[in-house]
Amino acid sequence: MQIAIDGPASAGKSTIAKLIAKNLDFVYCDTGAMYRTVTLLAKENQVDYGNESGILELMHDHKIYFVNKTDGQHVYLDDKDVSEVIRTEEITNNVSQVSAIKEVRTELVEMQRKMADNTNIVMDGRDIGTTVLPKAEVKIFLIASVSVRAQRRFKDNQERGIDVPLAQLEDEIATRDYKDSHREISPLKKADDAIEVDTSDMTIEQVVERVTEIVNEKK
Ligand code: CDP
Ligand code: CDP
């Protein structure tokens, strides 16, 4: 069974996807972490975020992969655990430029499909239901208002010691949503057969319960 969870920034995709995967004992794949790691690769090598050939060359020279540990999934760039450094403001605010590059998407989508091959998987991102796994049995489109999503990110940042004003986070989220929804290749879009869940007024437990209901109906 394949479960695709898409939606805008900070809607709760990865939190919900991880819990659903854990409950069902499915593999989890955070595709956003892959785009973030490619962005980090560009930054570390001082390659411009719009330099298509430079970024592709770096992708061919380096390895991006996941390692499952007791505390969850970690993303690696070569032999380095980059799970934390890919969440900085610098990466967050530039990832949409890198993820709009056609060849970057082609290569990452191929890796994602390989991970899902013959596996029970929960995958979250922007184009999972539309492009990566169009035949997924369950497609969820998670949304929440921009202000709720900014508050969630604000809280996350506080816990990690990052201090960005709430109004700035709202702007950043709205800008990233706009870029992700308006790019040419596989933009953020609800698949026709996806079920939309507005989580603005829902707790994590309530969202997990709702998604579990949807999965059980499909089983
Ligand atoms: O967790 P958050 O919602 O902030 O974002 P993410 O899932 O980590 O994704 C980071 C960025 O990667 C998104 O803003 C998109 O630009 C890109 N992305 C994408 O283009 N396609 C995906 N399947 C997943 C992420
Ligand atoms: O993956 P995505 O960017 O869509 O969101 P996330 O990183 O899973 O969630 C962002 C934050 O919102 C996390 O701190 C979650 O704990 C929180 N969250 C929440 O407070 N209520 C929900 N219904 C879902 C997520």
Q: What is the pLDDT of residues 89-137, one digit of tens each?
A: 999 999 999 999 999 999 999 999 999 999 999 999 999 999 999 999 9
Q: Which ligand is nearest to the CA of 7?
A: 2
Ligand number with the minimum distance to the CA of 17: 2
> Can you give the pTM of this predicted structure?
0.97
Q: How far is the CA of 9 from the centre of ligand 2 (A)?
A: 9
Q: Note the pLDDT tens digit of each residue in 177-192.
A: 999 999 999 999 999 9
> Distance between CA 112 and CA 179 in Å, rounded?
22
Cβ–ligand 1 contact at 170 (below 6 Å): no
Q: What pLDDT does residue 100 have?
A: 97
pLDDT at residue 219 in the model? 87
187 marked among binding-site residues? no
Give Cα separations from 98 to 4, 43, 114, 136, 182 (angstroms).
Answer: 22, 11, 22, 26, 14
Q: CB of 130 closer than 6 A to ligand 1?
A: no
Give the whole-number percent of the chain exceeding pLDDT 90.
96
Residue 15 in marked binding region = yes
